[in-house]
Amino acid sequence: MELSAAVTALRSRPPGNPAGVHAAARPNGARNEGEPPMLTDRDIETFVENGFVALRGAFPRELAEQGRELLWKDLGCDPDDPATWTRPVVRLGGYHALPFREAATTPALLDAFDRLVGEGRWLRPGGLGTFPVRFPSEEDPGDAGWHLDASFAGEKGEARVNLRSRGRALLMLFLFSDVGPDDAPTRIRVGSHRDLPPLLEGAGDQGREFMDLCGAAVPASEGRPEALATGEAGDVFLCHPFLVHAAQPHRGKVPRFMAQPPLLPVGELDLDAERPTPVERAVIGALGRG
C-alpha cells in the first residue's frame, strides 16, 4: 500500500465477528490494571492458521484521539459538518508526530513484533501511515478490490512481492476510530496467506510483479471465509504479509480513521530455519515443508 496510489487501489467481538477473528484480549479484570495486552500461545497459532490476529487495546485510546485531531487538520473538511465530507476516501501520508510514534511502539506491540517476526528481525517504527480516511458515501471509492500488498520495488520501479517477503515483515491495521460493520472495515480472506507461497515458490528472488500476482492470488483465495477488521480505537490487526484483503464503501455515519503501515524487516524470511518464526512457519507449511 505504500508504494503508490496505483498499488493501493488494487488492493472478537466488537460489533460483528465474522469467521476467524481471534483477538488477544482487551485489558480487563483478567490482568493487572495497566498491564498491556500480550499475545498468548493460542494467539500465535491463530496467526499462523488464519493469517492475522487482533491485539485489542494495543495503544491507548487517548493517543487515537490526539492522532485524529492532527489528521482532521490535514483533511480540508469540518469534523462537525458532514456536508464538507465530499469524497468517499482521502489518503493522508506518513505521520511522525508524537502520538503516532507512541501508538506504534507500545510495549504490547513491541512484544508482539518479537513473537511474530523474531527478536532483532524488524525495524522500530518511527511513525505511522498511510491513512486512508473513509467517509460515509454512496459513491464507489474506487479502491475496493481484493489484493495483497506489494513490498519492494523492482529494477524498473515496479511493485513486487517475493517468497521471502523482502521489504515487509507484517501488514498492520491501526484503528484510530471505532469501526463497526458499516464503517468500512477492511475485509480479510481468512487463511488466504497460505494460498500465496505456491504462487511465489518458482519466481526466484525477484518474485512476481504486483498486478500479476494479484491476478493469481485473488482467484486462488476465492471461497475463503471472510472476516471484518472491526474494533475500537486503539486496536491493531497484525497480519501476515501475504494476507489477501480489501477495502469497502463506508455505509455508516462517522468517518473511519485507520493507519495501514508495514512493519519493516531486517533481512528476509529464512525458510530453512531450525526454529522458524510464526510468519515463516505459515509459509513453510503452505509449501508442504513443515
The pLDDT tens digits of the residues spanning 162-189 come to: 999 999 999 999 999 999 999 999 999 9
Task: Provide the number of structural domains found in the chain.
Answer: 1
Domain containing 211 equals 5-27+35-286
The whole-number mean pLDDT for each consecutive block of 10 residues of the chain, a chain of 290 residues, reads 35 38 46 70 98 98 98 96 97 97 98 98 95 96 95 96 98 99 98 99 97 98 98 99 98 98 98 98 94
List the grid coordinates of 237.
490487526
CB-based burial of residue 255 (10 Å sphere; 0-12 exposed, 13-18 middle, 19+ buried)? buried
Give the list of residues 6+ apart from residue 151 with CB closer than 8 angstroms, or none. 160, 161, 162, 165, 166, 167, 168, 241, 262
Helix/strand number for the chain, H first, E second:
8, 14
Residue 53, strand partner residues: 238
- Structure confidence by residue, pLDDT tens digits, 223-269: 999 999 999 999 999 999 999 999 999 999 999 999 999 999 999 99
83 DSSP 8-state letter? G
Maximum distance among all alpha carbons in the chain?
Answer: 58
Q: How much is the pLDDT for 91?
A: 96
Please list, residue by residue across 40-53, b when 16 or more beta carbons sit within 10 angstroms of its beta carbon and e when fewer do. Answer: eeebbebbbbbbbb
What CATH code is carried by the domain that includes residue 58?
2.60.120.620
For residues 211 and 32, give the distance between their C-alpha atoms in angstroms, rounded to a whole number: 47
Cα-Cα-Cα-Cα torsion 48, 274, 162, 215, nearest 10 degrees, comes to: -40
What sign does the CA torsion over 157, 163, 167, 170 have?
positive
Q: How much is the pLDDT for 289?
A: 85
